């Protein structure tokens, strides 16, 4: 039996265009890099109410990971979701 997460459930409620997807992606990346577990990505659950919102969140997570991996390939003005490799601490 696996140990249950000690992190609290987070619910983000806000109106359209207020930054919910940004917050979800930010929290996902933060959890991903703050864990010592190699498979933590398989234990993070993020839910949305529409397939369109789920696709947007997935696209932004992948884009954020690409920016962190290859920051020299991106300019902040080129992407809707900008993230700096300095925004994520791995310590």
Q: What percent of the chain has pLDDT over 70?
A: 74
Is the pTM higher than 0.75? The answer reads: no
Q: Name the most confidently modeled range: 42-56, 58-72, 76-90.
A: 58-72
Position 78 scores a pLDDT of 57
Position 2 scores a pLDDT of 43
Average confidence score pLDDT of the chain: 75
Q: What is the DSSP letter of 39?
A: T
């Amino acid at each position: 039996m696996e140990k249950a997460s000690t992190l609290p459930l987070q619910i983000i409620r806000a109106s359209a265009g207020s930054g919910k997807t940004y917050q979800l992606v930010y929290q996902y990346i933060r959890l991903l890099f703050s864990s010592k577990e190699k498979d933590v990505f398989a234990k993070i659950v993020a839910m949305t109410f529409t397939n369109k919102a789920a696709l947007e969140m997935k696209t932004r997570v992948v884009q954020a990971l690409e920016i962190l991996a290859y920051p020299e390939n991106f300019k902040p003005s080129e992407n809707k979701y900008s993230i700096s490799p300095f925004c994520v601490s791995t310590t």
